[in-house]
């Protein structure tokens, strides 16, 4: 009589590691890896609003310079061309920007054809 050895089957760990690695890469690529807004401006603060600045916001510095996705933008019209007609125009002004200048930027945005203008603020920490 022949004795059969009970051989334990090993788990295919290489396949499991490959799957976990692929899932990690998938989430890294598809996740929101948007760059944070410029670090130097001091943004207007409020108690309500979104938790994060959307990547399609137009940043207006205290001296009136415009930035979109951390790149300088010459005019509001150039910003609106980049975001398209369907997306609302989001303006993120510096706290030190004079109110008259902010109103001028809002008027320029509306005159350039923006259907919806949103003024963004930075949420206060809770």
d(CA 14, CA 1): 37
Q: What is the overall mean pLDDT for the chain?
A: 78
Residue 80: band (very low, low, confident or very high) from pLDDT cuts 50, 70, 90: confident
- All structural domains of the chain with their residue ranges: 45-123
pLDDT of res. 123? 64
pLDDT tens string 34-66: 565 565 566 666 555 555 667 788 888 888 889
Residue 87: band (very low, low, confident or very high) from pLDDT cuts 50, 70, 90: confident
In this structure, what DSSP letter does residue 13 have?
H
Query: Which whole-number Å values give the CA distances from 24 to 3, 16, 21, 29, in the listed order?
Result: 46, 12, 5, 9
Is CATH 3.40.50 the right assignment for the domain spanning 45-123? no
Q: Which of 2-11, 17-26, 85-94 has the highest mean pLDDT?
A: 17-26
pLDDT of res. 50? 55
């Amino acid at each position: 009589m022949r004795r059969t050895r009970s051989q334990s089957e090993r788990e295919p760990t290489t396949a499991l590691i490959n799957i976990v690695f692929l899932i990690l890469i998938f989430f890294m690529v598809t996740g929101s890896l948007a760059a944070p807004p410029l670090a130097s401006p001091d943004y207007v603060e409020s108690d309500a609003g979104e938790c994060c600045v959307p990547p399609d916001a137009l940043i207006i510095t205290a001296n009136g310079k415009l930035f979109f996705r951390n790149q300088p933008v010459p005019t509001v019209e150039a910003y609106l061309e980049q975001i398209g007609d369907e997306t609302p125009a989001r303006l993120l002004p510096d706290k030190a920007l004079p109110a008259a200048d902010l109103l001028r930027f809002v008027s320029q945005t509306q005159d350039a054809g923006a259907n919806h203008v949103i003024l963004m603020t930075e949420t206060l920490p809770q």
